[in-house]
Amino acid sequence: MTAADSDGPVVLVTTDRGGDSLASWFPDLWSAERNHLTLSASRHGVKIHGAYLHEVPDEWIESAKQAYAALRTDRAADVSHLATHRHHGVSNGPLVPIEGGGR
């Protein structure tokens, strides 16, 4: 792991069995590897997990609100541009950075 890998946030975009997309924000790689998320966005809304509102950066919240708006209209909307990392391999393998991700 490099220093760049451990810098936050880590954003994952996944799809569930029903075809719904979910964007999840983690403060750092360590938290993402253990699924300790801070914020998520789906077609149902934006949810804060295990943190106080003032602890979540405004940029994360704004990105999550934009993802929610897109997913509310189309539950399979492409919000992959938010992703900074992805699982490598089968069965949620190790997280690897996405070059140019997180825009």
Q: Is residue 18 part of a domain?
A: yes
Res. 103 pLDDT band, cuts 50 70 90? low
Q: Is residue 22 part of a domain?
A: yes
Q: How many domains does the chain have?
A: 1
* Total-model pTM: 0.86
Residue 22: its pLDDT value, please? 94
Give residue-wise pLDDT tens across range 44-97: 999 999 999 999 999 999 999 999 999 999 988 999 999 999 988 766 778 999
Q: Which domain holds residue 12?
A: 6-97
Q: Is residue 40 part of a domain?
A: yes
DSSP 74-98: -TT---GGG-SEEE-SSSS--EEEP
Res. 36 pLDDT band, cuts 50 70 90? very high
Q: Is residue 43 part of a domain?
A: yes
Q: Which residue has the higher pLDDT, 102 or 22?
A: 22
Query: Distance of CA 34 to CAs 16, 22, 37, 46, 56, Å?
Result: 19, 17, 9, 21, 19
Q: Is the pLDDT of residue 5 over 80?
A: no
Residue 83: its pLDDT value, please? 96
Vertex 42: Cα angle to 1 and 79 (nearest 5):
60
Q: Is residue 1 part of a domain?
A: no
Q: Is residue 31 part of a domain?
A: yes
